[in-house]
Amino acid sequence: MKVLITGGGGFLGSQLCQKLLQRGELTGPSGGPEQISQIDLLDAQFHRPVEDSRVRQIKGDISDRATVMAAVGLDPATAIFHLASMVSGECEERFDDALRVNLDGGRNVFEAARAAPGRPRVIFASSIACYGGEAMADPNTDRTKLTPRTTYGMTKAICELLLNDHSRKGHFDGRSARLPTVIIRPGKPNAAASSWASGMFREPLHGAACALPVRREQCHPMTGYRTVIASLIALHEVPEDRLGGDRGYVLPAHRVTPHVAESILRQVAQERGLRLGPIVDAFDARIQGIVSNWPVSVDGARATALGLPSPPPLKEIVEQYLEDFGPPAS
């Protein structure tokens, strides 16, 4: 079977690709495991080639309908993982682009899946930014009303509703994973308003200072990238008759503050002989304003009931990052 990953040039997209290559199979139209013969990665840019004959990189914009239609194609055995998106900070600054990429791009993916033969499974990477405003609870669940207070969250919420309706009408078999903030992303900070969540771990672990734009008591739901990748695949594998009409599932997450992060970092540094860089207060009212409109905790009970994994302890998430991307112990 064929797999298409939009946003395949990004961190999660590339991690998902590697995991699928290792796995070698997914549930196909037959209802049983089918070999993955091809993985197409669609993205606006790629930083490095993938050295595997099963992988094809397609450079293109998901807001271009023809590009997406061609990428999905007419293979009746196609699984689609829709990860491509503008990030939160960009969406607040560039409203029209956010609608073009996140909303129109999502519609393009869904329409291409609708036009494909059979009923392909479509896994959509949504976000806890779908929650917001007066409807927020502690914790937020899949039954909490979606009233986003950011443009990014609004586009994700609309795509969740579209996916539910396409699935109801039988156009395709859709499933939404409502992602908490994913840590620890390697590389440099990006324009996401949640970029500090990875930065407050990543920079100190590499001996560099992290400028913290939010208050140290700020609570935020976080999970590890390995758990997210495992969850996306597990959600694809769930038999459709177990899903019901609401296809949106918030993933379980830890409730983390910068104070908690510092405590975990000190434990890891002591065990590994690392010299930590400092977390420096650099309050940014704009970033704090966005983050204050996001949940402080979530309840992923519906996801775990389907068999999706819970994140390991926060310390283990840090150790996974060090194993994959971090400096060796001195």
Secondary structure element (H or E) that encloses residue 72, with its range? helix 65-72
> Cα angle at 320 between 316 and 322, to 5 degrees?
115
Q: How far apart are CA 19 and CA 219, in angstroms?
A: 30
Q: Rounded to whole angstroms, how far apart are CA atoms 137 and 115?
A: 38
What is the distance, to the nearest Å, from the Cα of residue 135 to the centroid of all Cα atoms in its chain?
Answer: 23
Q: Which residues, including other chains, have CB under 8 Å from residue 245's CB and lie 6 or more apart?
A: 164, 168
Q: Which residues on neighbouring strands pair with residue 33, listed in sequence order?
A: 27
Rounded to the nearest 10 degrees, what angle do helices 225-237 and 11-23 cross at? 60
Residue 152 is a catalytic residue:
yes
Cis peptide before 184 (omega within 30 of 0): yes
Annotated catalytic residue within 131, 152, 225, 321: 152
Helix intervals (H) in 75-141? 88-93, 95-98, 105-115
**69: burial class by Cβ within 10 Å (0-12, 13-18, 19+)?**
middle
Q: Are 64 and 118 in contact (CB under 8 A)?
A: no
* Residues designated as active site: 152
